[in-house]
C-alpha cells in the first residue's frame, strides 16, 4: 500500500522537480566546557547562518553527545563539514552518512532545531554495528564506554 516514506506504492514521482540535496549525519562528544547554554548558542547561531545558506537540519544533544543531520546544497554542506571538524566544542567526530540525492528535505522548516535526547545509546550502538571505518569504530566505542563509566551528566574528556 505505502512504502517506508508514506508514498503510495507504484506512485510515479517527478524527480526532475526535486532539488539535489546533500546530507551529512554525524555524532561527536561535547568538550568539557560545553553546557546547555553553549548548546543553545550553537543552535541560535546555526539558525541564523543556515537560513542564508539553504541548510536545514536537526541537532540532538544529550548526555554529552551530539548527533546531527544537516541537508542542503552540496557546496554549503561541505563548508559546514570543514567548519565542524575545526570546532573545539566537540571531538571524536564520527561521520555516519553523507550523500547527494534528488529528494524532498526531511526538515524543510528547520534551519536548525535542538531535540533533547534522554538516552542516545541506541543510536550510537546502531551506528557502531554498521560502522566499517576503524577510526569511526574506535571513536564510537570510546563514546559508548563513557556512557558505561558513570552518571550520564558527567561525560567529558576524562
Give the list of residues 6+ apart from residue 132 with CB closer than 8 angstroms, or none: none
What dihedral do alpha carbons 84, 47, 122, 133 form, nearest 10°? -20
Beta bridge partners, 140, equal none
Q: What is the pLDDT of residue 7?
A: 46
The CATH number assigned to the domain with range 17-119 reads 3.30.70.100
Print pLDDT tens along the chain (158 aa). 444 444 445 445 554 567 888 999 999 999 999 999 999 999 999 999 998 999 998 898 888 889 898 999 999 999 999 999 999 999 999 998 898 988 788 777 777 867 666 556 666 777 778 777 787 788 778 877 876 765 444 333 33
DSSP states of 74-88: HHHHHHHHHHHHH-T
Query: Model-level pTM greater than 0.85?
Result: no
Domain spans, the chain: 17-119
Question: Which three cell numbers mark 115?
Answer: 531535540
Amino acid at each position: 500500500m505505502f512504502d517506508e516514506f508514506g508514498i503510495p506504492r507504484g506512485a510515479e514521482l517527478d524527480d526532475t522537480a526535486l532539488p539535489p540535496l546533500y546530507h551529512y549525519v554525524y555524532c561527536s562528544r561535547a568538550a568539557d566546557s560545553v553546557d546547555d547554554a553553549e548548546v543553545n548558542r550553537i543552535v541560535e547561531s546555526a539558525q541564523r547562518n543556515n537560513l542564508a545558506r539553504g541548510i536545514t537540519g536537526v541537532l540532538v544533544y544529550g548526555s554529552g553527545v551530539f548527533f546531527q543531520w544537516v541537508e542542503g546544497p552540496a557546496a554549503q554542506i561541505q563548508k559546514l563539514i570543514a567548519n565542524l571538524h575545526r570546532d573545539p566544542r566537540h571531538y571524536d567526530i564520527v561521520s555516519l552518512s553523507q550523500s547527494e540525492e534528488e529528494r524532498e528535505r526531511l526538515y524543510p522548516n528547520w534551519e536548525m532545531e535542538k531535540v533533547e535526547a534522554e538516552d542516545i545509546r541506541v543510536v550510537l550502538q546502531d551506528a557502531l554495528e554498521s560502522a566499517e571505518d576503524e577510526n569511526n569504530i574506535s571513536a564510537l566505542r570510546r563514546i559508548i564506554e563513557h556512557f558505561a563509566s558513570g552518571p550520564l551528566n558527567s561525560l567529558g574528556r576524562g
